[in-house]
């Protein structure tokens, strides 16, 4: 294997592992209803209620911590499956789902009362760490999606004919 291919595989693996690490380590907080998660989704639910959409981010709402966490779990499974099974399509789908999930997180940090700095359970601010991780995931997923775009393009009818 030549060096560019080896380097590309290493970068692809690092990006998939980074995204999966960030998503999987957050699952404990989301699935155990931790105080941090209660604060984040409670703040978002109050915001949604003020706009006339009560329960949007509540535990049984369509954008609850459980729904978001489940999407992160699926994205991580796709990314890791693509990495370990050598399936670029799985990686591309995982990267696309990651961009979707994390774009929502970035939007809510920037345009709602949640803010870039999230309050910790001890009352201090996190200094933007959660937001920085979200931005890192977005960039990693975008680069990974771009590098695996051929797998998605092959699904298009015109591309299938061109490859046949």
Reported as a single tens digit per residue, the pLDDT across 91-140 is 999 999 999 999 999 999 999 999 999 988 888 999 999 999 999 999 99
**Residue 154 near residue 163, CB atoms below 8 Å:** yes
Q: Could you tell me how far CA 143 lies from the centroid of its own chain? A: 13
Cα–Cα distance, 12 to 92 (Å, whole number) = 11
What is the pTM assigned to this prediction? 0.90
Reported as a single tens digit per residue, the pLDDT across 30-79 is 999 999 999 999 999 999 999 999 999 999 999 999 999 999 999 999 99
The string of DSSP letters for 87-130 reads -HHHHHHHHHHHHHHHHHHHHHHHHSTT-SSPBPTTS-B-TTHH
Residues sharing a CB contact under 8 Å with residue 63, sequence separation 6 or more, in sequence order: 44, 56, 57, 104
Q: Which ranges of the chain does DSSP label H, i.e. alpha helix?
A: 3-31, 35-50, 65-85, 88-111, 129-147, 149-153, 157-163
């Amino acid at each position: 294997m030549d060096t560019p291919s080896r380097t590309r595989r290493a970068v692809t693996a690092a990006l998939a592992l980074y995204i999966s690490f960030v998503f999987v380590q957050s699952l404990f907080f989301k699935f155990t209803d931790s105080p941090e998660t209660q604060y984040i989704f409670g703040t978002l639910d109050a915001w949604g209620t003020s706009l006339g959409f009560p329960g949007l981010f509540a535990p049984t709402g369509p954008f609850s911590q459980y729904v978001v966490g489940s999407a992160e779990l699926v994205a991580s499974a796709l990314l890791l499956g693509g990495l370990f099974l050598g399936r670029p399509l799985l990686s591309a789908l995982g990267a696309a789902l990651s961009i979707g999930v994390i774009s929502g997180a970035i939007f809510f940090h920037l345009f709602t009362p949640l803010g870039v700095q999230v309050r910790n359970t001890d009352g201090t601010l996190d200094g933007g760490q959660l937001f920085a991780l979200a931005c890192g995931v977005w960039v990693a997923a975008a680069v990974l999606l771009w590098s695996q775009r051929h797998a998605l393009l092959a699904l298009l009818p015109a591309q299938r004919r061109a490859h046949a």
